[in-house]
């Protein structure tokens, strides 16, 4: 695979001049970290230059996998914060979002402990992921992208786990982002799990589904202390969502070249397992147990947009709607989709694209 972000041969003085405004505008901590990257060549030497780069960037002290693709340097950047944790979109981005590259520069990031990053920078056996470290990583990457590609800010996109991380990033560093676009928005560990379980249990009982009922009664009502409980319930959720939602194209989930090698597949699987354990915890004490977005505050300095599946049985739309209603932001907007659940399908991608084109782009231009 080609290496991204090779060391510049241009003299440091010219680079410092090119990046001076962006670095000085960043918060002190991020400005210091941005200075670490100043020695790297600016990518956008011409506004119409196409971008297609992939490789490792040092973020949070470790090398993390980042891909950048777009038809023009003049276009705004979308930083995708994928779900899981441990489910990077980089293997599938071209199939799902490739059409967007004519209007946006698309950045996929294999987060700490996931995918290609897991393979290059494997975590210590006794280490766990933390919300704070992941949020700091995301903010550092956003600042780096803005500096390298000559932008003042980037667009922040988050789905499922990425919607938790995205809100944390938007709240901590609004100066880095034009707007936030969340899909399958999770809000609260206790509320999301309680509402999800109760709703699913009602559906299963109404269907007289004895096998699913045995699973749900076996794990009991949340919160759970067995890490396997979340996965057991998630499998029932997927089965019931599939009955009332439009499936995504099968081609979406075929890994792109470079992501289907034995090593890449093994790293993806290992990262998924490691990240999942960090998320739920061995005793219900993982990152998810700390999630309570309203406690971060409901005032936001950036516009907040949401796309929600009406049949999402995990991040249920009623919980997302209550959170949305509580928010104060320069702009906010929520769209509810009648043929979608938690996982993405074409309806979700189309709705996201409309918001980006009709509501977010006018804020930038």
Question: What is the Cα 81 distance to its own chain's centre?
Answer: 2
Taking every pair of Cα atoms in the chain, the longest distance, rounded to a whole number of angstroms, is: 71
Helix pair 210-219, 227-242: axis angle to 10 deg: 150
| 12-187+247-364 CATH | 3.40.50.1820
CA angle, 84 then 89 then 92, to 5°: 135
Convert the pLDDT of each residue in 104-162 to its tens digit.
Answer: 999 999 999 999 999 999 999 889 999 999 999 999 999 999 999 999 999 999 999 99
CA dihedral for 245, 251, 254, 257, sign (positive or negative): negative
- Order of strands across the sheet that contains 154-159: 51-59, 62-70, 105-110, 77-81, 154-159, 177-183, 304-309, 332-337
Peptide linkage before 208 cis (omega within 30 of 0): no
Q: How would you class 107 by CB atoms within 10 Å of its CB: exposed for 0-12, middle for 13-18, buried for 19 or more? A: buried
Convert the pLDDT of each residue in 306-331 to its tens digit.
Answer: 999 999 999 999 999 999 999 999 99
Name the average pLDDT for the chain: 91
Number of C-alpha atoms within 13 angstroms, CB side, residue 241? 26
- Predicted confidence band at 8 (pLDDT cuts at 50, 70, 90)? very low
Convert the pLDDT of each residue in 198-236 to its tens digit.
Answer: 999 999 999 999 999 999 999 999 999 999 999 999 999
Rounded CA-CA distance 37/7 in Å is 10
Mean pLDDT of 96-101: 98
Asked if residue 85 has pLDDT above 50, the reply is yes
Residue 27: predicted pLDDT: 54
Residue 363: predicted pLDDT: 95
Domain ranges of the chain: 12-187+247-364, 191-242
Q: In the numeric block, which tokens belong to residue 160?
A: 């499922």
Nearest 10 degrees: Cα torsion 53, 159, 179, 152: -20
Cβ atoms 48, 74 nearer than 8 A: yes
**Is the pLDDT higher at 21 or at 314?**
314
Q: In the numeric block, which tokens belong to residue 300?
A: 């936001």
């Amino acid at each position: 695979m080609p290496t991204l972000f090779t060391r510049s041969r241009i003299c440091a003085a010219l680079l410092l001049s090119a990046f001076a405004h962006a670095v000085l505008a960043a918060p002190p901590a991020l400005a210091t970290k941005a200075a670490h990257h100043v020695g790297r060549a600016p990518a956008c030497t011409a506004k119409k230059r196409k971008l297609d780069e992939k490789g490792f960037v040092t973020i949070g002290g470790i090398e993390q996998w980042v891909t950048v693709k777009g038809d023009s340097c003049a276009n705004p950047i979308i930083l995708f914060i994928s779900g899981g944790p441990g489910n990077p979109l980089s293997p599938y981005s071209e199939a799902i979002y490739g059409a967007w590259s004519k209007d946006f520069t698309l950045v996929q990031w294999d987060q700490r402990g996931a995918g290609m990053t897991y393979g290059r920078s494997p975590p210590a056996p006794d280490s766990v992921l933390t919300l704070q470290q992941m949020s700091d990583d995301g903010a550092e990457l956003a600042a780096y992208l803005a500096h390298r590609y000559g932008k003042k800010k980037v667009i922040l996109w988050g789905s499922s786990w990425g919607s938790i991380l995205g809100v944390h990033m938007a709240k901590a560093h609004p100066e880095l982002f034009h707007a936030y676009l969340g899909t399958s928005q999770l809000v609260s560990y206790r509320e999301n799990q309680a509402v999800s379980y109760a709703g699913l249990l009602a559906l299963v009982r109404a269907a007289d589904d004895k096998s699913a009922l045995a699973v749900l009664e076996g794990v009991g009502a949340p919160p759970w202390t067995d890490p396997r409980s979340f996965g057991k319930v998630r499998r029932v959720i997927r089965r019931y969502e599939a009955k009332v939602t439009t499936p995504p194209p099968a081609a979406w989930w075929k890994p792109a070249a470079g992501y289907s090698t034995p090593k890449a597949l093994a790293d993806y699987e290992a990262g998924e397992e490691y990240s999942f354990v960090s998320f739920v915890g061995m005793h219900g004490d993982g990152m998810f147990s700390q999630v309570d977005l309203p406690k971060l505050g409901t005032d936001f300095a950036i516009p907040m947009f949401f796309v929600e599946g009406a049949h999402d049985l995990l991040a249920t739309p009623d919980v997302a709607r209550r959170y949305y209603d509580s928010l104060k932001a320069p702009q906010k907007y929520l769209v509810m989709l009648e043929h979608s659940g938690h996982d993405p399908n074409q309806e979700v991608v189309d709705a996201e694209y409309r918001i980006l084109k009709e509501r977010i782009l006018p804020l930038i231009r």
